Each structure stands twice: as structure tokens, then as C-alpha cells.
Amino acid sequence: MIERRSLLLAGAAGLAAPALVRPASAQEVTLRLHHFLPAVSNVHRHFLQPWAQKIATESQNRLRIQIFPSMQLGGAPPQLYDQARDGVADIIWTLPGNTPGRFPRIEVFELPFVANRLAGPNARATWAFYDRHLRDEFREVHPITVWAHDGGVVHANKEVRTLEDLRGLKLRFPTRQAGEALRALGAAPIGLPVPQVPEALSQRVIDGAVVPWEVVPSIRLQELVRHHTEIPGNPTFYSTTFILAMNPARYAALPAELKAVLDANSGLAAAEMAARVWDEQGPVVRQMVERRRDNQIISITEAEKQRWMAACRPVVDAWIAAMRERNIDGAALLADAQRLIAQNAGAAG
């Protein structure tokens, strides 16, 4: 009888123990992630959703991320960074280039003929560059990661094979430096958030757009223009940088164990996961466009590329001079970015 009673007491104590030592992280947290592309976009489907699911799985569903695409929480794409800063959204994905000049140092990766044609080396280089140069630039938020995509493509309603073909062509550009590069090449650059591209093309406000292959289906670009011009080899014409950022107070309030899960899926790990979207989905989209009877993919010659590079060199020089006026050593930043890109391209084999 005494033995049976002892066993019952021991069992009761065992059941009670988890409740007594239940960690604070047992609480469940839901974070709202806001971005500007539709839910059908490759970034939403192949990066943000899998990333959120990975965090949910590794936290045993205690840390969940609810994604709001297409600016569903309100505002315009250029306001996303401030939404993270001010707590309107817990997490945002956006382009620093949506607010020209506000984040000058990261622009080095957006200069013409600096980036690699693959997203992987650009993403790894951008994250390493963040650790060395960008912490103060993004101090108002908690950066989860930063990265840059693969080489962009010129999509237009006419063939573009030479500098002369670009003359006067109204092309949407994603960042200030890409716009300056297009102007140097003789085009008429027009700044628009990417969701506005379809309407602008339909209304003949623009003749085309420069975007990577990955984004083409989400804005039906393959249906709106017929000609797609690639720039061969390295370095490529342009890239765009991105940031996945969190409200600092919201991050600080996370229980330690949940913060550890988020941290494990931040930084280089998240940058490489994002880069795979462009490097894996880009070729898939390109093949889809190539199969379309009415679409034409063009690659400029190496000799023509050298003409483009020479025409764009003043853009780089002007950026370095502008950085000097802000007491920033742009030449040193450019050299470091180029070194990191080359180093990470070599690491990729």
C-alpha cells in the first residue's frame, strides 16, 4: 500500500513538473510581415513563405509569421521601411532603393557593372558588406538580412541590341543608380514601383522595364512586351538590393528561445535562401519566355557590352564624388564590394 501510494505521488509530481518549469518561450507569438509583391510572385511563394514555415517548424509553431502581400496593411512601397521602424508592421521586405539617397552605402551594389550575374555571390557579398559597413545605415530597424539579386534584363517593346537602340526608350528603373545608368546609355528612365509596370505599359507611359527574370510572371511582362535583352558575363549591367527588417522593439520583446530560432534563420542563412529564388526561378522563367512564339531573347555582344560599360563609367565616378560630399569614402566601399563579390563568386565555384 505504501509502495503504491509512493508511485502515485511520484507520477503526480512528474505531471506537475512541466507546468512548474514551463519556460517563458512557451508563449506563442505571431509576427506580421508586409511586402509589395502579389502572393503569386516567386519571392512570396519561394522565399518568404518557406522562410516563415521553417521558423514555425523550428519553433514548434510558437513563432508564426503571417504574410501580407500587395501592401495589404496599407501605405505605398516606399513607406515599408518606416513601417518596420514605427511598428506598423513587425517585419517588412523592401528595396532600400525605394527611398533614393537615404541608404547611400548599400547603393554600391546597384552601380552599373559591379554585380555578378548570379544572385548567390551578390547576396553573400552584400551580407558580408553589411557586417562591415551598413550597421549604422540601418540602425533604425533590426535587419534580419540584406542581399542583392542576379543580373537584370532589359524588357522592351522594341529590339535592343546596341546603344543606339536605347536612345529615347522610356524604361522603368528600380533604383536611382539603375536610372542613372539608363540615362547614361541614352534611354529615358522612369521610376516606378514594380507593381505599377503593367498599367504603365498598357497606357504607353513606358516602353519597357529593367527587372530580373524572376519577377517577370508576377507582372505579366512576357505578355506586355516581346523583346528581352540580356547582358552576358560578369560584371552584369545592374542589380538591386533588398532588406528583410524587423521592428527593433518587437524583436527585443521576443522570448530568448524564439529569438534564437529567428536568429538562426537570419543573416547569411536567409540571404542565401533568398538568392536561390533568383538563381533557381530565373532560368525557369527564361525558358518559359523563350518558348513563347511571340517573344524574343537577345544577348548583346561582348564588344557592345564594352561600349555600355564605358558609357556608364561616369555614373560610378559621380557616385564616388557624391559620397565624398557626404564624408563617405565611396572608392573604398566600391573596392570592398568588388572584392567581396569576386571572393564569393570564387567560393561558388
pLDDT digits (tens, 9 = 90+) for 96-138: 999 999 999 999 999 999 999 999 999 999 999 999 999 999 9
- Say yes or no to pLDDT of 82 above 50: yes
CATH number among 3.40.190.170, 1.10.3720.10, 2.40.128.20, 3.40.50.720, domain 153-236+290-347: 3.40.190.170
Q: Cα separation of 18 and 281, whole Å? A: 46
Contacts of 229 (CB under 8 A, 6+ apart): 153, 154, 155, 156, 159, 160, 161, 298, 299, 300
The pLDDT-based confidence of 9 (bands split at 50, 70, 90) is very low
Pick the CATH number of 28-149+239-281 from 3.40.190.170, 1.20.80.10, 3.40.50.300, 1.20.120.1200: 3.40.190.170
Q: Do domains 28-149+239-281 and 153-236+290-347 have the same CATH topology?
A: yes
pTM of the model: 0.90
Supply 20's cell numbers.
512548474
pLDDT at 13 over 80: no
- Which of 153-178 are b and which e, b meaning 16 or more Cβ less than 10 Å from the residue's Cβ? bbbbeeebeebebbeebbbbbbbbbb
pLDDT, tens only, 298-344:
999 999 999 999 999 999 999 999 999 999 999 999 999 999 999 99
Contacts of 172 (CB under 8 A, 6+ apart): 189, 190, 191, 192, 194, 197, 200, 206, 208, 209, 210, 211
Dump pLDDT digits (tens) for 45-68. Answer: 999 999 999 999 999 999 999 999
Q: What is the pLDDT of residue 347?
A: 62
N-terminal to C-terminal alpha carbon distance within the chain: 72
At residue 17, the pLDDT reads 36
Domain ranges of the chain: 28-149+239-281, 153-236+290-347
